[in-house]
Structure 1
Amino acid sequence: MKKIKIGAVGLGRLGYQHAENIAFKIPGAELVALCDKDEVKLNKTADAWGIPNRYTDYEDMITNQALDAVVISSPSSLHTTQIAQALDAGLHVFSEKPLGTNLEECKIAEEAVERHPELVFMLGFMRRYDPSYAYAREKIRNGDIGNVVLFRGYSQDPESCIEGAIAYAGHSGGQFIDMAVHDIDLARWMVDSEPITIHAIGGCYAHQEFGAFKDGDNVAALMQMENDAMVFLFAGRTAPHGYNVETEIIGTKATLRIASVPQKNMVEILDHHGVRQECSQDFLERFEQAYLAEINEFIKCIHDHRKPEVTVYDGTKTTEIAYQCKKAFETNELIRM
């Protein structure tokens, strides 16, 4: 089978992980180019992995005739422009979330995808590829829990990572767009419905710096969906125990809970603190297998000449909902969709 030759842009935490996975863990792919503004990091990484082509300019990278596809892990505000540029250059595209930080940006991506139906575009909603979430969705689709009453999603980053979150706050788009977008996507995917009303609250409980961007360090939203299901989302930056993503879906016949107690593994530690379990400390650790699975799916879609389940329109819809959550948070008013 021909290997798909990929250029990766962005060597932040997740971008580095994607690039490393492509270079060493995805059998059907070959990493042939890297792009990052930090030339020192770029050359150090490329030298260590033996990557021949390296760029500090994305537009230069996508002119490389050896490339079949790009993986985009750049800052959120660059996503849609880079998606359009790559598709117009004849390249398949995998982009990290969010699709865009506003609807105008999302439309740029939509139009580019529509211009190139022959190419594969995939958005990085990796939780769909986590085995536990995939299993839960099948239970819902099979009717095992009856009608969905409530979807509850918690996403919390550890306090130990707060400096990076504050530094990124100015161009993140806000908590709902940057962080809660995963739970918004899961809610739409699992409940199989769209919101009709949104109310959001929150504040700067530990770090006032977020207030400068009309954001909070902990925020929440309550939605009513078209099928009457309720959705509650909580996104926080100040968890003292580690990275914590938990989900609950309450149905009329049963309840599903995913990672209701966040834990690194199945080990229990018995020491002078008592009996305890350790927590994952970041998203890379918790969703390691999901990140591999989503890139594998991207490569398979290219080989099989088919489109992935998650589409550009899913990206637009989650951005729209996240933006309305942000608006509800800022105005403290009920938003009707």
Structure 2
Amino acid sequence: MNKVRIGSVGLGRLGLQHAENIAGRIQNAELIAICDVDKPKVEETAKRLGVKHQFTSFDDLAACKDVDAIVVVSPSALHTGQIAAAMKAGKHVFSEKPLGVTVAECKEAEKAVEAHSDLVFMLGFMRRFDESYKYAHDKVVAGEIGKPVLFRSYSQDPEKFIQGSIAFASHSGGEFLDMSVHDIDLARWFTGSEPETVYAIGACYAHPEFAAYKDGDNVSCLMKFKNNCMVFLFAGRTAPHGYNVETEIIGTKGILRIASVPQKNLVEVLDNHGVRKECSENFLERFATAYVNEVQEFVNCIIEKRKPAVTVYDGTKVSEIAYTCKAAFESGELIKFHT
């Protein structure tokens, strides 16, 4: 196979970004079909990107003989069913996170992937494909900072987008699942270990609406991993300065910091406010290259007939950890992970 013909489902913010990437930025790939329940959006996007097939039904997309692979960027609650249906139809699948909105759904996705071992499945943990995170991970693996002692990661959304978070709160799974899954994945990736215990705290400091779902607008947790590495995660929905993701790995011989000062680019602005650096607007801007890199890896795996490093089991494990963090937050108690 010299070119992978891809159908993409979901044309929300990230879905549209993936469609545009596949249409013009992914080598050896062709965006052959798009699917969304919004027919006018499908028609407009297909015309703009030159897409052959247009669907408002996922079943029709899965049945399309011109499609080799499907990229799932639909609402989270649909992921598991669409993964299973696509693989049953003989399509390779790339799915955005989460794998499922419950651990039980993740297990169902595992069964679907296991039943079709001849097909490629990949989950979208895009931070692994960010150039800075890859560079730092290589240094950790090479032993350049010694043994990891502490992994610290922050994910903060801008306050100006809070109404969207409130609207999504009833089916988000909570802040640890909604916002910290990438931090959890990175913690496992960088430490090469799994969590043993977790203690979580937080509250509704500015937006009491989240309390109805036993959630907060800012939450944090401290985990002890099996290799004794300390892992501290913070997720916030009220950042005044913009989208902010930063990570630090402290080792016995050195320290790595990734985006410790969140900035849009290397430009400094000098004006009547003083000297400042602007922040990224959102996740699409901050991880634009990573979104390209991850789908490129998916396509490469199909062509080269190999499996990605990011597996369906990573999706299940991260969801299990996120829900355990949520349980610790709700109980206020130290919780031990099941081994």
TM-score range (shorter-chain normalised) is: over 0.9
Task: Name the CA distance, whole Å, in 2 between partners of 1:27 and 1:151.
Answer: 35
Letter in 2 for 1:58: F
One-letter code aligned to 1:88: K
How far is the alpha carbon of 1:164 from its aligned partner?
1.5
Shift of 1:50: 2.2
- Distance (Å, rounded) in 1 between the aligned partners of 2:115 and 2:203: 42
Q: Equivalent residues in 2 for 1:189-208 (5 A)?
A: 189-208=189-208
Return the letter of the residue paired with 1:145.
Answer: I
TM-score (norm 1): 0.98
SS of the counterpart of 2:247? Answer: strand
SS at match of 1:111: helix
Shift of 1:51: 1.6
Q: What displacement does 1:252 show?
A: 0.8
Q: What secondary structure does 1:264 align onto?
A: coil
Q: Which residue of structure 1 aligns with residue 74 of structure 2?
A: 74
- Runs (4 or more) in structure 1 with deviation over 4 Å come to none
311-320 vs 76-85, greater mean Cα deviation: 76-85
Q: Map Cα deviations across residues 220-263 of structure 1 (whole Å, 9 max, x no partner).
A: 11100000000000011110100000000011111100000000
Task: Tell me what 2:321 maps to.
Answer: 321
- Secondary structure, counterpart of 1:62 in structure 2: helix
1:202/1:218 contact within 8 Å kept: yes
What's the offset of the Cα at 1:190? Answer: 0.1
Distance across 2 between alignment mates of 1:3 and 1:209: 48
User: Cα distance, 1:302 vs. partner?
Assistant: 0.1
Q: Which residue of 1 aligns with 2:274?
A: 274
1:56-135 correspondence runs (5 A): 56-135=56-135
Give 3-state SS (helix, strand or coil) of 1:150's partner.
Answer: strand
Which runs of structure 2 are paired with 1:1-337 in the superposition (5 Å)? 2-337=2-337
Q: Distance in 2 between matches of 1:40 and 1:126?
A: 29
| Cα deviation 1:120-156 (Å, max 9, x = unaligned) | 0000000000111111111111111111110000000
Partner amino acid, structure 2, of 1:327: A
Task: State the one-letter code of the partner of 1:60.
Answer: D
Query: In 2, distance between residues paired with 1:299 and 1:129?
Result: 14
Q: Distance in 1 between matches of 2:177 and 2:254?
A: 31
2:295 and 2:239 mapped to 1: Cα distance?
29
Following the alignment from structure 2 to structure 1, what is the Cα–Cα distance between the partners of residues 151 and 171? 29
Give the secondary-structure state (helix, strand or coil) at the position aligned to 1:123.
strand
Shift of 1:52: 2.4
Q: Secondary structure at the match of 1:139?
A: helix
Secondary structure of 1:146's aligned partner = coil
* Contact persistence 1:201–1:221 (CA under 8 A): yes
In the alignment, the residues of structure 1 paired with residue 63 and residue 106 of structure 2 have an alpha-carbon distance, to the nearest angstrom, of 24
| 3-state SS of paired residue (1:241) | coil
Count of matched residue pairs: 337
CA shift, 1:32, in A, is 1.2
Structure 1 residue 117: Cα displacement: 0.7
Provide the rounded CA distance (Å) in 1 between the counterparts of 2:160 and 2:193. 36
Measured in 1, the distance between the counterparts of 2:218 and 2:76 equals: 20
Distance 2:109 2:23 in 1: 27
**1:196 deviation in Å?**
0.5
Structure 1 residue 65 displacement after superposition: 0.7
Q: Distance in 2 between matches of 1:30 and 1:207?
A: 44
Greater mean deviation of Cα atoms: 54-63 or 256-265: 54-63
Distance 2:232 2:54 in 1: 44
Alpha-carbon distance in 2 for matches of 1:49, 1:295 = 17
Q: Which runs of 5+ in 2 are unaligned?
A: none
Partners of 1:86 and 1:93 within 8 A in 2: yes
Q: CA RMSD in A?
A: 0.9
Distance 2:109 2:57 in 1: 20
Q: Deviations over 1:70-119 (max 9, x none)?
A: 00011111111111111111000000011112110001110011111110
1:274-309: per-residue Cα shift (whole Å, max 9, x none)? 110000010011101100000000000000000000
Deviation (angstroms), 1:181: 0.3
- Aligned counterparts of 1:324 and 1:34: Cα–Cα separation in 2: 36
* Partner Cα separation in structure 1 for residue 172 and residue 231 of structure 2: 23
| Alignment-mate amino acid for residue 285 of structure 2 | E
Contact between 1:76 and 1:171, CA under 8 Å: does it hold in 2?
no
| Corresponding residue SS for 1:86 | helix
Aligned partners of 1:246 and 1:258 also within 8 Å = yes
Q: CA deviation at 1:40?
A: 2.2
Q: Which amino acid aligns with 2:296?
A: N
**CA distance in structure 1 between the partners assigned to 2:217 and 2:79 by the alignment:** 24
Q: Distance in 1 between matches of 2:216 and 2:39?
A: 33
Q: For 1:161-219, what per-residue CA distance to the aligned partner results, in whole angstroms no more than 9, with x for missing partners?
A: 11211122222211111110000000000011000001111111111221222111111
